[in-house]
Amino acid sequence: MKIVTILGARPQFIKAAPVCHALKQNGCEEILVHTGQHYDANMSEIFFRELSIPAPSVNLNVGSGGHGKQTGEMLAKIEEILLTHKPDKVLVYGDTNSTLAGALAACKLGIPIAHVEAGLRSFNRSMPEEHNRVLTDHCSDLLFCPTQTAVNHLAFEGIRNGVHLVGDTMFDAVLSFRELARSRSDAMKKFGLKPKNFYLATIHRPYNTDDPVALESAMKALGSLGHQVLFPVHPRTRPKLQSLSLASNIQLCDPLGYLDMLLLQEEARVVLTDSGGVQKESFFLKTPCVTLRTETEWVETVQAGWNIVTGVDSSAIQKAVEQFERNPPLTPPDYFGSGDAAARIVRILA
């Protein structure tokens, strides 16, 4: 079986790692295509090294740009790759422009599409990712859902054929790499941190970073917290911070690799983020999370009491952190499978 896998952003590299290893173990030929949507070394190359993913067979070097330009350029280049390699299936992950471009290119050529992390919905139609998810799901032949909630969303939209509840490959990755992170990462020492004595923050979504009022409110909340806040800054976020006066407890750093982030998420008191993947990883690592959005795709983390959705209202953020400090959540339920999602996916693909 020959599979072309389309990747473009750091969360996709993490989701793909367990599946790449399972495909190799099952004798499948996988051609990795990196669109170049994330092209900074700290956002891309380091993940392939740390996760032991083979170097991409093709790098399209699309880079940044408007949604239409970026997606269109990917679509044209991916189509050429598919015509050259003639795969049995195309494998896409998540909800980025790379995901949609890969699905559309395969759909037009009549190549079966497998979508990992299918069925997620935020019901926020202002998010480009929401449109990417919906369109990709309706193009796909095999839909690999991480949770029962995702299966239910697809059924509500009339998608029932080819739907498989497999669990979450990011959970597979956390289980596989957590011990490696503990033994190899020196992030705690590097940033002068002590376990459970700091907060970890990530902010990258355009509606938070491109709105000066929203970003200032978020940073005000971080500055009001009683401990040090480590803030790995996305390349597109850093210029927006230059006009703000940051509190002394906020420590900025460049984006970090997967192993460093895993360790820091596990050791933090609370994680504050607008990232979908970081919400889940915090849940897997039993660290409370405050989501700096008005909604989340990962409703299970909220239902279990490990995630509070606040938006960027500084008062709501402070109250959420205080709530976690006063009442630590109970052991999280097993919503995301048992750590064998990649093996299940490969069995179905084969």
| Long-range contacts from 233-240, C-beta under 8 angstroms, 24+ separation | 234/43, 234/202, 234/203, 234/204, 234/209, 235/40, 235/43, 236/64, 236/204, 236/209, 237/203, 237/204, 237/209, 240/209, 240/210, 240/212, 240/215
Residues 6+ apart with CB under 8 A from 156: none
* Residue 21 is a catalytic residue: no
Dmax over CA atoms of the chain, in Å, equals: 58
Query: Which pair of tokens denotes residue 27?
Result: 């004798």
Give residues with Cβ within 8 angstroms of 74, minimum separation 6. Answer: 8, 35, 37, 60, 62, 97, 98, 101, 102
Which among 14, 7, 49 has a CA at the least distance from the CA of 31? 7
Residue of 85, 164, 204, 227 marked catalytic: 204
Q: Which residue has the tokens 């990709």?
A: 136
Residues with active-site annotation: 204
